[in-house]
Amino acid sequence: MMLLTSAHKKTTRGVAVAAAVVASALAVAGCSSGSSGTSASGASQITIFNGATGTIAENFNPFSPTLLQPTTGVIYEPLFYYNLAATAAPKPELATAFKWNAAGTQLTITTRAGVKWTDGQPFSAKDVAYTFNLIHKNPALNTSGLNATATATDDHTAVLTFKTKSFTQEPQVLGQTPIVAEHIWSKISDPAKDINKNPVGTGPYKLKSFASQSYSLTKNTNYWEKGKPQIDTVRYISLATADAASAALLAGQVDWMSAFLPNLQVLLNGHKNLTYVNTPALTTSLFTCANASLGCTGPQTDPAVRQAIYYGIDRTQINKLAGGGFAVPASPTMLLPARDAAWIANPADVTAPQSTDAAKANSILAAAGYTKGSDGIYQKNGQRVSMTVQVVAGYSDYISAISVMATELKAVGIELKSTQLAYNAWNSNETTGKFQLTMDSIGLGASSNPNFTYSPRYTTANTTKVGQVAASNGNYARYSNPSVDAAVAAAAATNDEATQKGQYAIVQQQIVRDLPYIPIYVNSTLTEFNTTNATGWPTNSNKYAFPASWKSWDNGIVLKELKPVK
């Protein structure tokens, strides 16, 4: 009884109290304002949105799959840096030179002198050797399948000894392995599970503070590259949706982010300090379940149908309506025409046709024994050429692309239907081969060498029957071709580019004819920058790094090049 009486008297009082609290909060909040730019002491600061949503869990372990993105590249560094946005030789970071022996079983690395860890201890080749041995000894850390041991012959030389010929391991070993300190990690009991709260690295920044909604890094004053980095503090935040990200960008609260923002140019209109760069790197394709002998069913198991789709779509229109005009032409060899033209053997295979070639599509199907039914769709032996494309719900650009393709292919006589699935369902179907067509993309290998496109996606070793899980990011199309397998193996066995080119020419000839993955275009990777607080970002004419804010390794390179705006 007492409970209720007082509860009701408090009604009006309660409202008044709430109002007072809010008012005082607003007053107090006025004192605690802050934003990107210069902090109180005049130090320069930028804010990065790297795709983190929701709460942030602390994990600076560079070997963990759930690590916080700046750990690799900004706090810890690799031996060399491989730029995927342009053709360039690997850039020396913690190592200055490397050399293979003729058999491809020994890699000698010369490490850089004058590098210090952030706790003041000197860096040496012993740390490099320790890192590789650590990975080799702990299978849970070995995500690259490294099969080598390492020794440091002196303070500046480390030698990796592989069990088998391992030329193809080079970009992974040199460019994707974070080098850690022996004197710290030898004391860590469980290197796979440790969250490494106080990371000690060689990189341009070190951890300043961590909170579950944001963390910040401060510049490493002992960094080995003199005069770099120049920005004092780098802050990372978390945002829930692309809408929130674009709002933050337009309000000047984010300096660097990567998001496909529809109508980007319209959005940036009137914001003189906002700029963007487009580094297309992923070939958006229709993955087909191509191999009937491994269990695929449907019209797409016939190469003629796949070729008809390839010639039937109008890539210019798809780019305009779905890709925002930012996509660039793809190649049936699944390499990037702009960057990898040197690897493409046949000049006719450099780019896919950019407009519909209905005549060719029709002749291909007719030659394969298809006839047009009364509804305008081709059919053979009673089976209509009608296929379903699976796509992740919410990927609006993919969904629009499929919509456009469906209209274009209908004119050619092929029916395309689409189903939208949640990510996990879509992914599960893709890995187990339970699809006819699915929308996905290929790209971002360890380096621009074609091995990283052909080996995972086209070799029999990386595929399996429909119903079983194939190797991750592997040969989902269930493609199996002995000449391709042999050519890829031969190319991997040598370090000589000329030989490799010859072998890849064989691969390309096969896959351009078979088209288990039908390329649409090379999708844009848009990165937006705010030049109010920092300049020196990569530009469309100077792609010194792949600047996506979510990419590991390149983020360190970009941060090193930035200069604060006074």
Partner 1 sequence: MRFYLQKIMFYVVAFWAALTLNFFIPRLMPGNPVDVMLSKLGAKGPVSPAARHAVELLLGTKTSQPLWSQYWEYLVRIFHGDLGLSVTYYPATVSDIIRQTLPWTICLIGLATVISFLLGIGLGQLAGWKRGSWLDNLLPITTMFQAIPYFWLALILVYLLSSRLSLFPLFGGYDVYGASPGLNFGFIGSALYYGVLPAFTIVISSVGGWMLGMRNMMVATLSEDYILAAEAKGLKPRRIMTAYAARNAVLPSLSGFAISLGFVVAGSIVMEQVFSYPGIGSALLNAVQNNDYALMQGIFLVITFSVLGANLIVDLLYAIIDPRTRARA
Partner 2 sequence: MASITTLDPDIAVAGYKRRGSSQLLPSLTPKLITGLVLSGSIIIFGLVWPHFVGDPGKINDIGLAGPGPGHILGTTQTGQDVFSQLAYATRGSLIIGFLVGILAMILSGFFGIVGAYAGGLIDDSFALFTNVMLVIPGLPLVIVISSYVPDKSIYLIAGVLALTSWAGGARVLRSVTLSLRNRDYVAASRVSGEKVWRTLLVEILPNLVPVMASQFIFAIIFAILGEAGLSFIGLGASGDWTWGTMLFYAENGLALRLNAWWWFIPPGLLIAVFGAALTLINFSIDEIINPKLRDQTHSARKKWQLSKSELKNLEDVR
Site for partner 1 in 166-205 (CB under 8 A): 171-172, 176, 192-195
Element housing 258 (H / E): strand 256-258
Q: How far is the CB of 404 from partner 2 (least distance, A)?
A: 6
Q: How far is the CB of 249 from partner 2 (least distance, A)?
A: 10
List Cα–Cα distances, 94 to 125, 174, 202, 440, in angstroms. Answer: 10, 10, 9, 35
Interatomic CA distance for residues 46 and 529, integer angstroms: 11
Using CB under 8 A as the binding rule, whether residue 469 contacts partner 1 is answered as yes
Residues 428-487 that bind partner 2 (CB under 8 A): 429
Q: Find the part of the chain contacting partner 1 (CB under 8 A) among 3-11, 271-279, 495-503, 556-564.
A: 3-11
Using CB under 8 A as the binding rule, whether residue 43 contacts partner 1 is answered as no
Quick one: what does residue 469 bind among partner 2, partner 1, none, with the CB cut-off 5 to 8 Å set by partner type?
partner 1
Using CB under 8 A as the binding rule, whether residue 462 contacts partner 1 is answered as yes
The mark string for 302-341 relative to partner 2 (x by CB under 8 A, - otherwise) is ------------------xxx-------------------
The mark string for 229-248 relative to partner 1 (x by CB under 8 A, - otherwise) is ------x-xxxxx-xx--xx
Interatomic CA distance for residues 163 and 143, integer angstroms: 17
Q: How far is the CB of 436 from partner 2 (least distance, A)?
A: 14
The mark string for 470-499 relative to partner 1 (x by CB under 8 A, - otherwise) is -xxxx-------------------------
Give the residue from 442, 448, 517 showing the smallest Cα distance to 484.
517
Residues 222-261 that bind partner 2 (CB under 8 A): 241-243, 246-247, 250, 261
94 near 113, Cβ under 8 Å?
A: no
Interatomic CA distance for residues 97 and 94, integer angstroms: 10
Q: Find the part of the chain contacting partner 1 (CB under 8 A) among 13-21, 86-94, 367-375, 514-522.
A: 13-21
Q: How far is the CB of 350 from partner 2 (least distance, A)?
A: 28
The mark string for 516-555 relative to partner 1 (x by CB under 8 A, - otherwise) is --------------------------------x-xxxx--
Q: Find the part of the chain contacting partner 1 (CB under 8 A) among 313-321, 328-336, 365-373, 424-432.
A: 424-432
The four Cα atoms 180, 182, 186, 189 give a dihedral, to 10 degrees, of: -10
Give the residue from 260, 203, 166 showing the smallest Cα distance to 73.
203
The amino acid occupying position 58 is E
Give the residue from 182, 175, 171, 82 showing the smallest Cα distance to 125.
182
Q: How far is the CB of 348 from partner 1 (least distance, A)?
A: 29
Q: How far is the CB of 21 from partner 2 (least distance, A)?
A: 23
Q: Find the part of the chain contacting partner 2 (CB under 8 A) among 147-155, 362-370, 375-383, 401-409.
A: 401-409
Q: Which residue has the tokens 């919410």?
A: 394
Other C-beta atoms closer than 10 Å to the C-beta of 126 total: 19
Using CB under 8 A as the binding rule, whether residue 445 contacts partner 1 is answered as yes
Give the residue from 220, 198, 219 showing the smallest Cα distance to 210.
198
Interatomic CA distance for residues 299 and 90, integer angstroms: 44
118 near 135, Cβ under 8 Å?
A: no
Give the nearer residue to partner 1 in terms of CB position, either 301 or 523. 523
Return phi, psi of residue 545, to 5°. -155, 165
The 3-state DSSP class for residue 326 equals coil
Give the residue from 38, 166, 13 showing the smallest Cα distance to 101.
166
Element housing 416 (H / E): strand 415-421
Using CB under 8 A as the binding rule, whether residue 59 contacts partner 1 is answered as yes
Burial category of 153 from C-beta neighbours within 10 Å (exposed 0-12, middle 13-18, buried 19 and up): exposed
> Residue count at the site for partner 1 (CB under 8 A)?
97
Quick one: what does residue 139 bind among partner 1, partner 2, none, with the CB cut-off 5 to 8 Å set by partner type?
partner 1
Residues 87-146 that bind partner 1 (CB under 8 A): 139-145
Using CB under 8 A as the binding rule, whether residue 386 contacts partner 1 is answered as no
Q: Find the part of the chain contacting partner 1 (CB under 8 A) among 111-119, 250-258, 344-352, 530-538.
A: 250-258
Peptide bond into 229 cis (omega under 30): yes
Interatomic CA distance for residues 338 and 344, integer angstroms: 11
Return phi, psi of residue 486, to 5°. -65, -45
265 near 494, Cβ under 8 Å?
A: no
> Residue count at the site for partner 2 (CB under 8 A)?
30
Give the residue from 522, 83, 481 showing the smallest Cα distance to 331.
522
The mark string for 359-398 relative to partner 2 (x by CB under 8 A, - otherwise) is ----------------------------------xx-x--
Out of 32, 41, 221, 381, point to the residue binding partner 1 (CB under 8 A): 32
Element housing 440 (H / E): strand 437-443
Out of 188, 425, 444, 471, point to the residue binding partner 2 (CB under 8 A): 425
Give the nearer residue to partner 2 in terms of CB position, either 419 or 495. 419
520 near 284, Cβ under 8 Å?
A: yes
Quick one: what does residue 394 bind among partner 1, partner 2, none, with the CB cut-off 5 to 8 Å set by partner type?
partner 2
Contact residues for partner 2 (CB under 8 A)?
241-243, 246-247, 250, 261-263, 266-267, 320-322, 393-394, 396, 400, 403-404, 407, 418-422, 424-426, 429
